[in-house]
Chain A
Amino acid sequence: MTGETPVSLVSTAGQVTVVNFWASWCGPCRTETPMLAAAARELSSQGVQFIGVNIRDDRAAAAAFEREFDVPFPSIYDREAALAATWKVTAPPSTFVVARDGRVVASIPGPIEKTDLSCMIEYARAGGSID
C-alpha cells in the first residue's frame, strides 16, 4: 500500500484510470477483487492504470487482504474516508473510471462485473464519448 498521504489522483492524467474504493471488512469487495486484480494485470501493458482506495479499515487488515488476493495495484490508505467523501462514495465497493483528460466518465456503486468494467474502460479510452 501507498503512504497515508494520498497519491494525488491528478498524476493519473494522461492515462485511463480505474479507481476502486474498498475495505477488508466488506463482503462484496471480496467477490470483485480477484476480477479487478486480473484485469489490472491484463490491462497494465495497454496503458490502463488501477488505483485502490482503502476506506475505514485497519491498516494491517487491509494489507492482509491485498496479500490474500495478490492485488497488483497500489492503494491509498483513507482511514477516515475523507477522499471517498469527496468522490461522493456512499459505501464500498465503488468503482470509477477516469478518462485521459482527468474527467470521471463512469461510476458504479456496489460490486462491479467484468463486462461492465471492460465496457467502461473502452468508453474512457474513446475519450468519454461514443464516436
Chain B
Amino acid sequence: MTESNESEDFGAEPVPPRAMERMHGWRRLRSMRTAIQLLIAVAIVSLLGSVIPQRSAAPSKVAQFIEEHRFWGEVFDRLGLFQVFTSWWFLALAGFLLFVTGACLIPRTRAALSHARRIKQAPERGRLPDLRFTTEVESELSSDETVTEARRVLGRRRWRSSPVNGANQWIAERGHSRETGSVLFHWSFFLVALAAALTITTKFEGSAVVVEKTSWVEGGRVNFDEYSEGAFARWINPHAGFTVAVEDFDVAYGDDGMPKSYTSRVKILDDGREVLEDEVRVNKPVSYKGVKLYQLGYGWAPVVRVTDGSTVVYDGPLVLGMRGPNGSSAGVIKLPSTASGSVGLELSLFPDFKLVPFRATNPDDPRAREPGALDLISTGDFGERPLVVVTEYRGDLGLDKPQNVYELDKTGLEQVAQKFATFPANANEKLGTSTQLGGGLNVELIDLRRFTVFSVKRDSYGTPVAAAAAAVMMLSLYPALYAYRRRLWFEVVEGGTEGVVLRFGGVAYQRKDIFEEEFLRIETDLTDALRGAGSVAKKATR
C-alpha cells in the first residue's frame, strides 16, 4: 500500500488497522470509518430519490409509474420510495449521522476550547522530542535575548509560544484554526437540521390565482388555491391579513417570441390603507409582514357576461386553464338552472388565432378525409388576435357528484352548438363580441385580462437559520481544509562560536509537504534575526 505522506487528523486517535477490527461500541461509533460508511449510505439512499420519481417534484410521474408497474408500484409506495426524503428510514439515517457527528464533536469541541486558552504541553519534557525537522542557529545575543528574539520572530509569523513547564524549553504552535474550522463546520449541520425542522413545522405556503384589476386577501387557508402548513405554523407564522391588489400584469417577449420576463404590479393594503406599491417578478419576490409573494405563473381570464333572457347569470372574469401551446386555454361556466334548462359552456381562447389546413394525427379521424378541413391554432401568447370559441353543452351537469370546477363532466352532456366571438378591442366585421346561443342565452365578451399566480409563503425562522448555517459553513470550511497544525520546540544551549545556540525542531500534523518549506523559511528568519539583530545591538552598545 502506498503510504500517503499526508496524515490528516480530524480528531480521531490514530488506530492501527488490526486494532480497528476489535473496536466496539462507542469508540467504533465515533470512528472515522463509521462516518465514511454513513456518508456513503446517505449518498446511496439519495440516489434512489434521484432515480425514482418523487411525489414532491413530479407527482404525475409517480402516478404514471404506479400505473405502469402495478405490483412494483405498490411495493415502492409502501416502502416510501416515492417520498424518500421524508421517509422514516431516510430521516433515521440522517439522524444517526447527526448523532455520530455529535458524539465526535462534543469531546473535540471541549478540547478545542481548552486549547484556545493555552497550548497543551508536550508530553516530552526535558529534551526536544524526536522530530523530523531539527536545526541549530548560532546566536550573537545572550540566552534571554535569544529567547525573546525567537519568540518575537515567531510571533510575527503568528505563532503562539509558551515555556514548557519546569524545563528551559519553549513550545510554539500555529494552525489551530484548522480544528476550530472543522468543529464549526460540523456543528453547522445541526443548524441545517434545525433550519429544516423549523421550515417543515412552521412554514405555510400556498398558491393564489389573482385576475388583473382584482384583489386577493392573505387571510387563511380559504384564500388559497393550493395550501399546506406545518404543524405549528398557525402560532409561529400566522396569516397577516393584508390585501394584495393586482393593478396589472405584463409579459415582455424576447425576439424569439418566448417570454423574457413577467411582472405583476401590486399594491398592498393593510387595514384599508395602502402600505406598499411594488412589482413581483420571477427572482424578485415582494415581502410584507414576513409574508413573501413569489411570481409563479400566469394565464388568461376573459371577462364574460352571460345573460339568460334579461337576467344576468354570469358577469366577471373567468380563469382559463392552459390547454395547448401558445396560450391556448379553456374554462367552463356551469349554469344548472337557466330558463331553458341546465347548460354547460366551454370557452376556449386562442390568443393569436390562425386557421391552418387540418393535419390529422390519427388516420381514423373523420375530418382527415374531409377536403379543405381547417384547424384552429394559436401562433402566439400575445393576445393581439384573440378568438374565443364558445361551445354549448346541454344535459346533466352532474353537480350532485364531486367534480372539478375548471372542467365539465361530459358524461351526461351533449354538445349542441359552437360559436366564435372576440373582444371589443379586437372586434371586426366577421367576429362580433357576443354570440347568441340556444334558449335565449347570450355570451358577451367584455375584456381580455390576464391572471397571475403567486406562490405565497411565510417561513420567518427556517430560512434565516438556514442562511446562518450556510454562513458558518462557508467561513469554517476553508480553515478546516487549508489551515494545518504545526509545532516548534526550542531551547537555548551553550556552544558555537558565539557561545549561544538556539536549537529547535518542528512537526506538522497535516500538510507535511508545505511545512518543509515553512520550516526552512523560519530557520532563515531566525538566523537573520539572531545574527542581524545581534550586530545592530552590538553597534548600539559600542
Contacts and interface: CB of A to CB of B under 8 A. Distances in A.
| Chain A directly contacts chain B within the complex, with at least one CB pair under 8 Å | yes
Contacts of A68: 336-337
Interface in A37-69: 55-56, 58-61, 63-64, 67-68
7 contacts: A25-B334, A58-B314, A61-B333, A81-B223, A85-B241, A88-B220, A90-B221
| Residue of B311, B313, B335 with highest tally of chain A CB at under 10 A | B313
A79 B306 CA distance: 19
Interface string A81-117: 1101110111110000000000000000000000000
A63 B307 CA distance: 13
Task: Name the residue in B219, B243, B306, B314 with the highest tally of chain A Cβ atoms < 10 Å from its Cβ.
Answer: B219
Given A80-B215, A80-B223, A30 B314 contact: no
Given A25-B405, A31-B400, A68-B337, A91 B221 contact: yes
A34 interface: no
A60 B316 contact: yes
Given A61-B314, A85-B220, 14 more contacts: A25-B334, A27-B399, A55-B222, A56-B223, A58-B314, A58-B316, A59-B315, A60-B315, A68-B336, A81-B222, A82-B219, A85-B239, A85-B241, A90-B220
Contact of A91 (B222, B305, B400): B222
A: contact size bracket: 20 to 34
B403 A84 contact: no
Given A58-B316, A60-B313, A60-B314, A90 B400 contact: no
B220 A89 contact: yes
Contacts of B337: 64, 67-68
Interface in A2-33: 25, 27, 30-31
Contacts of A58: 314-316
Contacts of B216: 80
Given A27-B403, A60-B315, A82 B221 contact: no
Given A27-B402, A64-B335, A86 B219 contact: yes
A79 B235 CA distance: 27
A60 B442 CA distance: 14
A120 to B, nearest CB: 21
